Amino acid sequence: MKKVVSGTIKGVFLVFICLLAVLFLSTKASGGEPTLFQHQIKVVVSGSMEPEIQTGSIILNKLIEPDTTYKKGDIITFHSEDKLVTHRIVDVKEVKGESIFQTKGDNNNAPDAHYVSKGDITGKYTGFTIPKLGYIANYVTSEMGFALLLFIPGLLMVLSTARSIIVATKEMEAKQA
């Protein structure tokens, strides 16, 4: 029983590592953001949205569609200068027939200085968060982490194969003796 549980945990871990490798390799190759089933995967790097979203969390944003509507209270990710920001909409105004949004981090004292236009929004928070996993994702996208992400699955496969060969050899020797 212990062997089955151990094998299952190792298998799940290996599959998880391989999926991360594929996701981040495809993202690096395309030069875009990690996307899975019409959802963006984002890493939260500041505490501006705490306690709702903790620093170091991974969040899932629904990719925007032309008919997506936004209202006060929605959490959105948008371009602000040269970075992506995830904040809550605290006010909506109409300017020349177009909605613009004032945003604020839940943990910030004041609203953001600039309103956000619909064209700057990249996604709408789905409410799905995995705390602390963002720290791992950030490491994986670093040069050292990226190299390890490629190296570890290969090493695990080589070690597993070597172990299987050793076990098979011992079993054959035991049968012959």
Distance CA 139, CA 89 (A): 30
Where does residue 131 fall: left (phi above 0), alpha (psi -120 to 50 degrees), or beta otherwise? beta
**Annotation marks residue 26 as catalytic:** no
Active-site annotation holder among 46, 80, 99, 117: 46
Q: Which two tokens stand for residue 147?
A: 């190299």
With vertex at residue 87, the alpha carbon angle to CA 25 and CA 34, rounded to the nearest 5 degrees, is 10
Which of 59, 60, 57, 19 shows the shortest CA–CA distance to 39? Answer: 60
Active site residues: 46
